[in-house]
Chains A and B, each alone.
Chain A
Amino acid sequence: MTAVAPQPAGEATAEHPLFEARGLHVHFPVRGKKSVVKALDGVDLVWNHGEVLGIVGESGCGKSTLGRTLLGLQRPTEGEVLFDGKPLRRGAMRDLRKRVQMVFQDPYQSLNPRQTVGRLVQEPLVIHGVARRGIERIQRGVDALEAAGLAPAERFWERYPHELSGGQRQRVVIASAMVLDPHGLVCDEPVSALDVSVRAQVLQVLTELKRERGLGLLFITHDVGLAWALCDRVAVMYLGRIVETGTTEQVIGDPKHPYTKSLLSVVPTPFPRKDLKRTILEGELPDASSVPPGCRFHPRCPMMIEDCKAVDPELRTPAGAPASHLAACIRV
């Protein structure tokens, strides 16, 4: 009954991006009030096959909502999501899930504590009716675990999540996501909950999967250093909207939007940057139920001028920048 024949990873159709978001709005009603929280407020985004796309921003900027909306876990209030060139439909969710999987931040909460590792990795195959023969399922489970760095898989097969360390759990999550051989993985802060040396191990697994299988990654993070090392392209979000986007070298190497500059200047690093002046923004991220008029960043912006209070800027190429580099600021 599959309308779209599933394609094996790696030889995906090149003419369409993996995902495309057009004018995406997600508004949540606030109980007892007339106002709504605008988690996403007009997002356009292209995520290509085999691409590592970083979504960067402070907590509450809408980056997780964006990931969830792309996967159909959250219905957009307005706008549409195209998956491989076709609009997301309720009936096509099963096919979507088979080809795009998700890795959440907290591996302690995303594994069923009452299932063994062996069952956990086979479950997606059972749900999607792939590899109907038991032996084949086990083989694919073993392969997925070993690809995720849990080798030899027999050592982990009969264990329960509580018997594993945080890093091992996150690798089980990655293995279960990868067992269906998806085209894309949405990773929502996949290493924030992990310890330093384990973090590097998990990141290595992800980059190897990307290199060997042409896996696309949507990497949601607040860690700009990680985005720098891992991503091909980056989108910076502020209050439900993308304020700057382009290749990693463009956005992080040569930021144009004052918000991006400020964000980059405050991220702690062992080797502080000399080319950016440290600009700590005062106050906190405004409430997404009362987005400031004009440019949404103007109340905290160090470069604010009178016009910023009136004009809601669109994404455009800043003067002197390459065409792929876009920023939403009237002053650049």
Chain B
Amino acid sequence: MADVLLDVKDLAIAYRDAKGEEVRLVDGVSFQLRRGEALGLAGESGCGKTTTALSLLGLLPGNLYRASGSIELDSKQGIMHLHRRTERGFRELRWANVSIVFQGSMNALDPCMRISDQMAEAIRLHDREIDRQGVRERIAELFGYVGLSVNRANQYPHEFSGGMRQRAMIALALACKPEIVIGDEPTTALDVMMQAQILELLEELRRDLGLAMLLITHDLSVLAETCDRVAIMYAGQIAEEGPIDALFHSPQHPYTQRLLGAFPTVGGPRTLAPPIPGAPPDPADPPSGCLFHPRCHKAREQCTDGRVDMRSVGQEHGARCLFAPWPPGELEPLNVPAEATSG
């Protein structure tokens, strides 16, 4: 498996509550990211997708810790065991190996610093030998990648529009030639047209620079055109994982099916799919058995008890459901448009 770049095994992230009990926000999460691949991590807020991503960068908030599991990165400097790294160790790999683009680019950029200075800072931090000319050339190159005019490099963040700031953020994330770029809702704050521009940019960069990408979003529809594979998270676990086509066209977890149903598609049926009742469970008091069973329209007696493991349901396609694989027709996606839409 030489092409596996990032290997996360059985990751659990937890905090201790007032009584000193361990509460797991992420539990038993395993996934692999290959070189040049785009993996989508999707789910509702609070499902643990951002927590998982932050743990890859050693950026977990102070009260959270890794309770179990391992994270291995097959980096350009050799295998790195991220789960053994200290803060100092993480500092070396942030930006240089793994970088992140956040949702609110206005908050992620320093408002008092010129964009070029912020970039120069990141470049110098990881390349002590580089001279001024080198920095200037690198900034010009990065601005070129993201389609910004170099003339604006010396401006401040407030002089940029939302879309341009997000482009600057992406340029900054690329400053130290990382192997993995994590996008945490990178387009959520943007307008549709700008979202399309940014997604296209990410796609181009991935292709041209051979980046691997982990795209975190609550919006499943964003993933269809940008990712190769998707992992759907629910209540701190991966509920279903698979290639995008297989997962969207024949979901094997009732949660995936209903979640997809929440995105009506032009050309599909002009009705709303039935909503998922209730709300995700409290991590401090998870239900027994399958975590999704209290909200599941397919739940049966067996679901209320015992642990549910990931089952293989096809080529690289797994679902954490007792009844997977489902017989054809049982979990039909709810809003596929008729193929023969007249053009």
Contacts and interface: CB of A to CB of B under 8 A. Distances in A.
Contacts of A200: 258, 261-262, 272-276
A45 to B, nearest CB: 22
Contact of B262 (A165, A197, A262, A275): A197
B80 interface: no
Interface in A247-288: 248, 252-254, 262-264, 266-276, 278, 280-281, 284-285
A198 interface: yes
A315 B288 CA distance: 59
Contacts of B200: 280
B265 A197 contact: no
Given A270-B220, A271-B336, A229 B195 contact: no
Interface in B1-56: 44-45
Interface string A186-217: 00000000011111110110010000000000
Nearest to A263: B192
B208 interface: no
Nearest to A255: B266
A201 B273 CA distance: 10
Contacts of B265: 225, 228, 269-271
A195 B45 contact: yes
Would you call the interface of chain B mostly helix, strand, loop, or mixed?
loop
B192 A229 contact: no
Contacts of B277: 201
Q: Which of A253, A263, A268, A276 has the most CB of B within 10 A?
A: A268
Interface in B113-152: none
A131 to B, nearest CB: 31
A262 B197 CA distance: 12
Interface string B187-203: 00001111111011000
A17 B196 CA distance: 37
B26 to A, nearest CB: 18
Contacts of A269: 221, 224, 263, 265-266
Interface string A104-131: 0000000000000000000000000000
Nearest to A232: B270
Interface centre among B193, B196, B262, B271 (most CB of A within 10 A): B193
A222 interface: yes
Contacts of B193: 58, 262-263, 266, 280-281, 284-285
B241 to A, nearest CB: 16
Contacts of B163: 284
A59 interface: yes
Chain A interface residue bracket vs B = 35 or more
Interface string A280-314: 11001100000000000000000000000000000
B293 interface: no
Greatest chain B CB density within 10 A among A262, A269, A276, A278 is at A269
Interface string A88-103: 0000000000000000
A267 B263 contact: no
A70 B196 CA distance: 31
Given A59-B191, A197-B259, A284-B163, A270 B221 contact: yes
Contacts of A196: 44, 218-220, 259, 262-263
A252 B337 CA distance: 13
A224 interface: yes
B112 interface: no
B306 interface: no
Given A273-B266, A284-B194, A229 B224 contact: no
A242 to B, nearest CB: 18
B316 interface: no
A8 to B, nearest CB: 27
Contacts of B280: 197
A203 to B, nearest CB: 6
B111 interface: no
B197 A229 contact: no
B335 interface: yes
Contacts of B274: 200, 204
Nearest to A196: B262
A219 to B, nearest CB: 13
B286 interface: no
A6 B279 CA distance: 39
Interface string B213-253: 00000111111110000000000000000000000100000
B197 A280 contact: yes
Contacts of A253: 266-267, 341
A55 interface: no
Given A58-B191, A270-B221, A230 B272 contact: yes
A226 interface: yes
A280 B196 contact: yes
Contacts of A195: 44-45, 218
Contact of B266 (A225, A280, A285): A225
Interface string B264-307: 11111111111111011000000000000000000000000000
B343 interface: yes
Given A195-B45, A196-B262, A273 B220 contact: no
A264 B341 CA distance: 14
A198 to B, nearest CB: 7
A284 B190 CA distance: 11
Given A253-B266, A284-B161, 8 more contacts: A195-B44, A199-B275, A200-B275, A225-B221, A266-B196, A270-B224, A270-B263, A271-B265
Q: Which 5 A-B pairs have the closest CB atoms?
A: A200-B275, A229-B264, A275-B343, A266-B196, A197-B276
30 contacts: A58-B191, A59-B191, A196-B219, A197-B259, A197-B275, A200-B258, A200-B261, A200-B262, A203-B275, A204-B274, A207-B272, A222-B191, A222-B192, A225-B264, A228-B265, A228-B268, A228-B270, A229-B272, A253-B266, A253-B341, A263-B192, A266-B192, A266-B195, A268-B195, A268-B225, A270-B248, A270-B335, A271-B248, A274-B341, A280-B197
